[in-house]
Amino acid sequence: MKRFNLEMSVGVFIVVGLLAIAYLTLNLGGLEILGGDYYKVHALFSSVSGLKSGARVEIAGVQVGKVSQIVLVDDQADVELSLKPEVKIGSDVFASIKTQGIIGDKFVQLTPGAEEDFLKDGDEITETEAAVDLEALISKYVFGKVE
């Protein structure tokens, strides 16, 4: 009987430990099992060079969402942004693709406007600025084609 109690308590301890490790892994990794509570808006860019699904969406340096999907629509990149429900952005918001540091990851920066008509789930951001292609700028400079 004592052996059974010892084995049972060790088994329970291991299961609780594994559940705690799984919980910490999911939370620290930023993964969401049920998808989270976000609303989605779209933005069309002429180029999203280097932007990936899962990239940050920021307003004033604060993460307010993430890039959930990037698809090609009529020779433009349609970027689907998942935003937290407490974040309300006006319909005149400006979306631009920025680089974190000199050669860091790409992210979407939202610059709010003055409009009080907020975007809803499925709406589109009309004012966008594509990513700066650093390689193209360097090659223009190296080969003397800077304007």
Pair (115, 74) in one structural domain: yes
Task: Say which DSSP state 64 is in.
Answer: E
Does the predicted model carry a pTM greater than 0.75? Answer: no
State which residues form the domain around 27.
1-31
* Model confidence at 29: pLDDT above 90: no
Pair (77, 22) in one structural domain: no
Return phi, psi of residue 96, to 5°: -140, 150
Mean pLDDT of 10-33: 82
Pair (1, 63) in one structural domain: no
SS3 state of residue 7: helix
Pair (69, 87) in one structural domain: yes
Domain contains 27? yes
Please, are residues 118 and 112 in contact by the beta-carbon 8 Å criterion? no
Give the Cα separation of 107 and 121 in Å (integer): 21
* Number of domains the chain contains: 2
Domain contains 139? no
Per-residue pLDDT, 3:
73
Pair (55, 91) in one structural domain: yes
Give the Cα separation of 7 and 63 in Å (integer): 46
Radius of gyration of the chain (CA): 22
CA 32, 62, 108: angle at the middle one, nearest 5? 80
Pair (26, 46) in one structural domain: no
* Model confidence at 110: pLDDT above 90: yes
Domain contains 142? no
Please, are residues 42 and 95 in contact by the beta-carbon 8 Å criterion? no
Task: Please give the mean pLDDT across all residues of the chain.
Answer: 85
Domain contains 13? yes
Pair (25, 94) in one structural domain: no
Domain contains 146? no
* Model confidence at 145: pLDDT above 70: no
Domain contains 145? no
Domain contains 138? no
Pair (125, 103) in one structural domain: yes
Give the Cα separation of 89 and 7 in Å (integer): 56
Domain contains 56? yes
Task: Say which DSSP state 14 is in.
Answer: H
